[in-house]
Structure 1
């Protein structure tokens, strides 16, 4: 005797949950779609639909030297901060997991300390600390790189630590030592390649987060080193169509980075399984 595994109540429940999820997603997409339409409209006043569509606002944006410079500064600061994070956090996690595994719990607590202090408080503290310093870094990209480095640490540490948990570190190191490789050689030629996808996923996620950071950039450097978020803030008084095009360009870039990180993380999980 065969029984039908699909119960009508289960179908109704699944349909109900899907409708709730789709409704929430639809509501969240409304302001994004409205911003997109506004950025493509020539004029949009009291009418329901725009009077016409144009790409002039996007052309004006990508041909603005100030936007190109601000975007380039953001890329430089974010890449430098992430490079510093990888150079310091990757060997640190290796030492913790291979030599001192009991310190992992302590590291999980310490790594969250940057989130314990609000950005405004941290910015004021940094300004007071380095205002009278012999090293003039206030108002320069160096203080922003150092600050972004601390912000990226929790994302980088947690993602890379999860990758270390999945690769059987001790077994790989023992096998490398049996084959005559030193600890340094095993780290660079065996461990790092096994962490590649998890490392890239953490880099993309951290980069997308840092690119949208505003409080530290505004308080520590401001217009003296105009990043993308400072540029967006300074251009808020211009045409709404132009700022909408800027927001959509920024959103599309962040969406692409998040999608790439999700794909890399998914492929990494599939490889583990």
Structure 2
């Protein structure tokens, strides 16, 4: 690659990064500004809005609710799907094409339509869980399935699962011992990518959370929706806090993952 081509590629990437970061930077400045209206730059800076947000027990409860539901759904998805994926990849690879179709079904039905159907199914009867976190965990489980399945499947293909299992069995390991002690550690990166990708999507989900539980188990996005008529500075502080919570969890997960390598 010539010097001119290198500079061109770097310039394109820099412009794209600026386009992506500019709205976030403007929101960050607005969250710490006293007033920003008639001038190009804010008239002053303050931590009032951020302090008000993090002292609000309702916000802290909504954040805890969101984290609880997201991690609950992701833990359920990994624990149930990972053994199933191993069985399909090792014993029934011919079913992979069918699974690729099935895992896309949650995206085939619009969230509003799914919510109405779930409300009719679980509003009464023996499983009346509408308005509880359990219905959201179930919904988020189905939403996370495509991300988890695709990421871990790609990881299994990259490590040559069948060759790895055959090598472990030649050394005397049983099938499940080889799966737990040989295959599973090699799937750590794929699982981490799947969890982070799913988490970043689930914590921003609004339609299911608002229709199925609403204020009865207020999540972060429902709290943001209920605060829409308040101060714009306060809302900006909420958006920035939401972004940094996701960023912090991502950095922690990456640090833990690198520490185990």
Same fold (TM over 0.5): yes
What's the counterpart of residue 171 of structure 1? Answer: 163
Superposition deviation, residue 158 in structure 1: 0.3
The yes-or-no answer on 1:90 pairing with 2:50 is no
Residues 261 and 121 (structure 1), Cα distance of their counterparts in 2 relative to 1, 3 Å cut: farther
What's the counterpart of residue 187 of structure 1? Answer: 179
- Unaligned regions of 5+ residues in structure 2, if any? none
Of the three residues 148, 154, 167, the one matched with 1:156 is 148
The yes-or-no answer on 1:243 pairing with 2:235 is yes
Residues 194 and 21 (structure 1), Cα distance of their counterparts in 2 relative to 1, 3 Å cut: closer
SS for the counterpart of 2:229 is coil
Superposition deviation, residue 236 in structure 1: 1.2
Superposition deviation, residue 263 in structure 1: 8.8
- 1:38, 1:98 → 2: CA distance? 53
- 1:260, 1:105 → 2: CA distance? 35
Superposition deviation, residue 257 in structure 1: 4.8
- 1:261, 1:104 → 2: CA distance? 29
Name the Cα RMSD after superposition: 2.2
- Unaligned regions of 5+ residues in structure 1, if any? none
What's the counterpart of residue 116 of structure 2? Answer: 124
Residues 129 and 44 (structure 1), Cα distance of their counterparts in 2 relative to 1, 3 Å cut: same
What's the counterpart of residue 20 of structure 2? Answer: 28
What's the counterpart of residue 50 of structure 2? Answer: 58
The yes-or-no answer on 1:204 pairing with 2:190 is no
Structure 1 range deviating more: 88-97 or 24-33? 24-33
Superposition deviation, residue 235 in structure 1: 1.0
SS for the counterpart of 1:133 is coil
Superposition deviation, residue 119 in structure 1: 0.7
- 8 Å CA contact 1:139, 1:221 repeated in 2: yes
What's the counterpart of residue 133 of structure 2? Answer: 141
Superposition deviation, residue 260 in structure 1: 6.9
Number of residue pairs the alignment of both structures matches: 259
> For 1:233-265, what per-residue CA distance to the aligned partner results, in whole angstroms no more than 9, with x for missing partners?
111111111110110111222344556778999
Structure 1 range deviating more: 253-262 or 150-159? 253-262
Superposition deviation, residue 17 in structure 1: 4.9
Structure 1 range deviating more: 95-104 or 15-24? 15-24
Provide the TM-score with structure 2 as the length reference. Answer: 0.91
What's the counterpart of residue 111 of structure 1? Answer: 103
The yes-or-no answer on 1:76 pairing with 2:61 is no
Please identify the structure whose Cα radius of gyration is greater. Answer: 1
Structure 1 range deviating more: 182-191 or 76-85? 182-191
Superposition deviation, residue 171 in structure 1: 2.1
Provide the TM-score with structure 1 as the length reference. Answer: 0.87
- 1:86, 1:59 → 2: CA distance? 36
> For 1:23-53, what per-residue CA distance to the aligned partner results, in whole angstroms no more than 9, with x for missing partners?
3432333222111111011222323322211
- 1:232, 1:179 → 2: CA distance? 56
